[in-house]
Copies of this chain bind each other. A is one copy, B any other.
């Protein structure tokens, strides 16, 4: 609390780190590339887990747990996959004091180990579909840490489903992408654009990858979730066939999909301000803090009795902190809870008690508003609902205001350099043009939006025909 947060306009990257460390969301660990998720940060992850897990189960998915360690030979069974992941793996070579015959990789993702099991479990069409999800830690070697966004180890969920047909797998891939979009927008209040990844940006081993892309306050893009149609690649690599209704043996169709603790980074960078993090009400474990204000014993008793009653009423629906610590002044408490992002603050002093009311301050607006004591539960409920809605709207407006339609490559380079944000431009579909833009500007194709207009145009690089615009941006 003694330290100051670097303002966003001074250094966005330092602001991000300052907020995380000071709000005690996470900390650097003594192990290179690894972070510690502290209770304030983990509470957000628990809310993400709780809500996503419910949504997965409502759509017929179940959870399971597969081993952390994957034999090297498994990694090598799918050619693109091993090429994509092997270089960033941590490898166990000693176990129980002995050199191992075969090195074991800490999972960077679990397709290989899971499909080795599906081979045991899938015989006939009756065994399909399998709709399994796993909550787990994974590891991809990384030395330049950025808290929540880039660390060696991170937490995520990874869904791995098995289907009888391409169509079913494709349906599942889309179902999950839409579920992600709904969750990220309705809970995290982060607007996203759903679309298909270009081949260059797809998952190592996938037929195609869909993603949702968000815009951070520094106008860079952040990939918030991905869903892959893996085709029959892993079924072929692990020889997983099923007998169809006609008695024919066929390879199984696969999907995989995931979101990670990176979403916490997205939340911070979308909603945070120079006072700290701002947690959307629906993913705040503690939604309300009451700060009582008094001088002397008589006021104290009066104010605390009143505050207790308010707390009791609100506790019917919300988790409420009554910050009655004596050693800190109200201003100090305001700053502390703002830093931590508690959505709503209620201030109660003797004058509020006299007027049978209290002062309410929304974390995103930081404006004081006097409200009546009567109906406080209804007022608070409506305010939190409105706050949730307005946070999403504000972020959506920011995204729209910083999305540019550009048809000239010089203008494109100038916009990326000077403005940043999303650029909607025509692209012919070739990997060469995509690579040139990345080389020239560091911008990549975030995705090809599902809801883009069908609009003939010319590729911004080569001038060849294009079917519509794609999103370019610099990304985290």
A24: nearest residue on chain B (CB-CB)? Answer: B121
Collect the chain B residues with CB atoms within 8 Å of residue A62's CB: 39, 42-43
Question: What is the interface size of chain A, counting residues whose CB is below 8 A from a CB of the partner?
Answer: 54
A355: Cβ under 8 A from any B Cβ: no
Distance between A57 CB and nearest chain B CB, rounded to angstroms: 9
**Considering only CB atoms, which chain B residue lies closest to A73 in the complex?**
B30
Tell me, yes or no, whether A390 is within 8 Å of chain B by CB: no
Could you say which residues of chain B place their CB within 8 Å of the CB of A19? none
Q: Which residues of B contact A35 (CB under 8 A)?
A: 67
| A92 and chain B: residue at smallest CB distance | B90
Chain A stretch 343-371: residues in CB contact (< 8 A) with chain B: none
Contacts of A29 in B (CB 8 A): 66-67, 113, 116-117
Could you give, for residues 436-447 of chain A, a 1 whenever the CB lies within 8 Å of some chain B CB and a 0 otherwise?
000000000000
Establish whether residues A36 and B65, one from each chain, have CB atoms under 8 Å apart when the complex forms.
yes
Tell whether, in the assembled complex, residue A116 and residue B65 are in contact, meaning their CB atoms are under 8 Å apart: no
CA–CA, A121 and B29, complex, Å:
12
A84 CB to nearest B CB, Å? 14
Tell me, yes or no, whether A166 is within 8 Å of chain B by CB. no
Report A240 CB to chain B, min CB distance, Å: 14
Establish whether residues A38 and B67, one from each chain, have CB atoms under 8 Å apart when the complex forms.
no
CA distance A35 to B103 in the complex (A): 18
Q: Does A430 contact B (CB under 8 A)?
A: no
**Are B65 and A31 in contact, with the CB atoms below 8 A?**
no
Would you give 12 A-B contacts (Cβ < 8 Å), ordered by A?
A: A30-B71, A30-B74, A31-B67, A31-B69, A31-B70, A37-B65, A42-B64, A45-B65, A67-B153, A69-B152, A89-B96, A106-B106
Going nearest first, the 9 A-B pairs with the smallest beta carbon separation are A96-B141, A34-B67, A39-B62, A91-B94, A37-B65, A90-B95, A93-B93, A95-B141, A90-B92
